[in-house]
Amino acid sequence: MNNNDPQKIFNILVIGANGGIGRQAVVAALNAGHRVTAVLRNPANLTLTHPMLEVIKGDILHPATYERSLEKKDAVISAIGTKGTGPTTIYSQGNAALLRVMQEKGVRRAFFISASALEISPVLPFYVRLAEKYIVQKILRNMYADLRIMEHLVKESDTDWTILRPPRLTDAEATGHYRWAANAFLKNCLKISRADLAHFMIRSMEDRTTWQAIVEVGY
C-alpha cells in the first residue's frame, strides 16, 4: 500500500471495536476511506454509522461468529481487552483462534495490542523503570502473563504481524505526530493517545518495516 494513495481502499476487520483502541481504529480506518467490519459482542455499544462500516455480533473466542466476515479481508486489527487484574486467557486463546481462522481464510496482515511494560525499556528514565518493574508488572501480572503467551503465538504464526506495545494510553484526539520504533526501544516512550495509536496502524498497513516486528509508538 502506498500510504499517500487515496484511491486504494482496504477491507479491514476490527475485533474488539467497542474498546478504546478498537473504536479509534474503526474511526481512523473510515477517515482514511477504507471499508471496515467491526466485530463486538454487543453491537449496540458501537453507535457509529457510516456507509463503509458493517457492524456484526461476534466473540474472538468463538470463531464461528466472525469467520465469514474474514473472507476477502486485507487486514485484521485485534483490539481485544479485559477489565480487572485477575487471571485471563482472552489474549492468548482469543488470538490463537483468530490466527487459525486467518490461516484458513488466507488473511495475512494483522495488528495485535500488547503493552510496553511487558519488557522494561533500558532507555526509559530510571524512575519509570522502577515503577514499571515494581508496580505495573506486579499489579498487571496476570494480564502480562497472558500477553507473553499471545506474543509467542503471534511470532510463531505465518502472518505479516505487528505487535504494538503502547505506553500509557490517553483519550486525547489524534494528532498524526508521534514517534515509533520497530524491534527497538523508543527513548522516553511515555504516552500515546488511543487515536494516534489507531492512526499509526492504519497508515502502516503495508509498511514492511513493521511486518513481523514489535513496535513502540509514543510522543
Please tell me the predicted confidence (pLDDT) of residue 156: 97
Tens digits of residue pLDDT in 162-200? 999 999 999 999 999 999 999 999 999 999 999 999 999
Q: Tell me 50's DSSP state.
A: -
Give the CATH fold of the 11-218 domain: Rossmann fold (3.40.50)
Per-residue burial over 91-128, b = 16 or more CB atoms within 10 Å of its CB, e = otherwise? bbbbbbbbbebbeebebbbbbbbbbbbbbebeebeeeb
Q: What stretches in the chain show pLDDT beneath 70?
A: 1-7
Is beta strand 213-218 parallel, antiparallel or unpaired with respect to 179-182? antiparallel
pTM assigned to the model? 0.94
Q: How far apart are the first and last CA of the chain?
A: 25
Please tell me the predicted confidence (pLDDT) of residue 6: 54
The domain ranges of the chain are 11-218
Phi, psi of 88 (to 5 degrees): -150, 155
The number of beta carbons lying within 10 Å of the beta carbon of residue 51 is: 6
Amino acid at 109: R
Please tell me the predicted confidence (pLDDT) of residue 7: 59
